[in-house]
Structure 1
């Protein structure tokens, strides 16, 4: 009898680990993220991730929680009693994000080349990719950055779009630490311009609030794009700098 009970629990745990592994592989493929990149973001070893995905060891609770934080989504099944607050998908975002519908915001879905000034080199532009898409699990638009040189600082979160202001807000909230991007409605070319407010990592553990111009340029799915630090001598510099300069020159934001 005891053997049957233990075996049942083992089978249940294996099934749950298998389900988690399937979801992680799906997220890696959808976001075009490497396993090493996910391991770094979740602050787990690549060996732990590889063994869990291969089924040679189960996903522990600690590993699963770290992966959920890194991916910005829940990987474990919730008891039925715990689900009402995460209502069944309705096609509408919650009121605190603007109560927008998915069809009304479908234009924002896609991949963007994201440009901002380099915090390490004032003359350079920093470039990476941002993906915005609808989350069926949470009934809202979400975003995730990728192809950042500083992968440990990759951001993800929710998209807010209140009708009153007509602006788009990309909000990261990790354990109460906030980071905010405020964007204009898209231009005829589909580009969005605005302001980033975040914390700049300094010497040691020093963090300094910083705001900077930011630009989101639409990309075709899978389209290659520049990434990393782009200096004045690089071929794409003038184009990237021109887009950043538009934030102030065309009145998309005022930097005092």
Structure 2
């Protein structure tokens, strides 16, 4: 008989994580929202979805109740099948009509770098994972290792032929965050601009734009995340990547 805190196997955990990711994409809800509905901490959910901690039976039951689907093989309720959008391995026209195969090089994990919004001179670092989403017939991105986990984002990857750039688009109930980056360099880095909202006091939100870099995990031996200040490990390397955006230039920032 299983106890409520029994850990599930690695294979079960991977299967459950895949179903949850599909449900999140289909319903267009954030991991934070699901964590709140399931009465879990966002840290617990992120670690389980990222494979850094196995699911427990108690956690799985809470998630099943929140989603209204079965997440376990052999459970009484069947797992809900998620239908594709009918495009197969080609993204919809609204995302550039690229094929899965033509963009396969983009899949993987990246160290993501931008200036810190809260501390001048520091750099904010987190991880971004890009993978094919069969349900949406497009590549999707998901952030992890964010110090401010409540602001973790995920969304769709758009690659139109006309501009030669890549767009990471987050759309939550009509509120957008847009990241525009270059095609990758020979080493796989992508450089560009993030346009988002800066959270201030109370409900104050201010539009803000900043340089952003996506560096393949293989390009950084021991990445560190969070707010990276001068003198800490990887600061000079991270700063060089951001400076490259200005020097090449991969993006331009104008003042009137």
In the superposition, the TM-score normalised over structure 2's length comes to 0.73
Alpha carbons 1:41, 1:152 under 8 Å: kept: no
Per the alignment, do residues 199 and 161 of structure 1 end up closer, same or farther by CA in structure 2, a change over 3 Å counting? same
- Residue 89 of structure 1: CA displacement? 5.1
Residues 1:46 and 1:87: Cα distance change in structure 2 (over 3 Å): closer
In the alignment of these two chains, the number of paired residues is: 212
Q: Distance in 2 between matches of 1:137 and 1:101?
A: 14
Structure 2 residue 209 is the aligned partner of structure 1 residue 211 = yes
Gaps of 5+ in 1: 1-20, 30-36, 66-74
For structure 2, the 5+ residue unaligned runs are 1-12, 22-29, 46-55, 69-78
So what's the TM-score if we normalise by structure 1? 0.73
Matched, 1:59 2:64: yes
The CA RMSD over aligned residues, in Å, is 3.1
State the Cα distance separating 1:220 from its structure 2 match. 3.7
1:116 aligned onto 2:114: yes
Give the counterpart of 1:42 among 35, 38, 41: 35
Shift of residue 205, structure 1, vs aligned partner = 1.2
Following superposition, the deviation at residue 64 of structure 1 comes to 1.6
Structure 1 residues 41 and 58: alpha-carbon distance in aligned structure 2, compared to 1, 3 A threshold: closer
1:1-256 to 2 correspondences below 5 Å: 24-26=16-18, 42-43=35-36, 44-46=38-40, 53-55=59-61, 59-60=64-65, 63-64=66-67, 76-77=80-81, 86-88=84-86, 90-220=88-218, 224-256=222-254
Cα distance, 1:25 vs structure 2: 3.3
* SS in structure 2 of the partner of residue 181 of structure 1: strand
Q: Deviations over 1:24-48 (max 9, x none)?
A: 434689xxxxxxx95676324228x
Q: Which has the higher helix share?
A: 1
8 A Cα contact 2:224 2:233, kept in partner: no
Q: 2: distance between equivalents of 1:102 and 1:221?
A: 24
